[in-house]
Amino acid sequence: MSTPRRVVLGVGNADRGDDGAGLAVAARLAGRVPAGVAVVACEQEPTRLLDALAGASSALVVDAVVSGAEPGTLHRFDAGDGPLPVRVFRSSTHALGVGEAVELARALDRLPARTLVLGIEGGAFEAGSGLSAAVRAAVERAADVVLAELEEEPCTSGR
């Protein structure tokens, strides 16, 4: 059984407005990524991230964030540069956020050599409201960013 060497993870909750941004990016990428790249949609419970990251040589994680910027703003975090700003990611009393999941992977020595996190600034999180126009447009840009990152990155050969 071969573990995909590179993974793209779209995280979010499609029923909470802009919180579905990461999932929408994963859906946009279906069938468009190079061979050997696994695209995974992760709904709601981000410690599942840890298993998806295990054994990957690189990971691109996409999630909605709230930092106070204009809705639709893209934020790029390279986990290699230092700890992620955990507070901008969605989390809850009974689940971890993406920032914490990535930091947990780091603490447990499970973080892929290269881990990028793409944050899409959300504006509206009403149940059932769907993506806002600004975030819908950002999803397209984010998908392009992910594809460009995958192009740039040297493909690890072998299995």
Q: How far is the CB of 45 from other proteins (least distance, A)?
A: 4
Write the binding mask 76 to 95 for other proteins: x where contact by CB under 8 A, - elsewhere.
----------xxx-xxxxxx
Q: How far is the CB of 152 from other proteins (least distance, A)?
A: 29
Burial class (CB in 10 A: 0-12, 13-18, 19+), 101: buried
Pairing label, strands 114-121, 74-78: antiparallel
**Binding residues for other proteins, total number by CB under 8 A:** 34
What stretch of H or E contains 122? none
Question: What does the buried/exposed string (b/e) look like for 86-100 if buried means 16 or more CB atoms within 10 Å of the residue's CB?
Answer: eebbbeeeeebbbbb
Residue type, 27: A
Q: How far is the CB of 144 from other proteins (least distance, A)?
A: 26
27 scored as a contact of other proteins (CB under 8 A): no
**Contact between 9 and 26 (Cβ < 8 Å):** yes
Write the binding mask 104 to 143 for other proteins: x where contact by CB under 8 A, - elsewhere.
x-xxxx---------------x-xx---------------
Q: Which residues bind other proteins (CB under 8 A)?
A: 13-16, 42-45, 47-48, 50-51, 66, 86-88, 90-97, 100, 103-104, 106-109, 125, 127-128
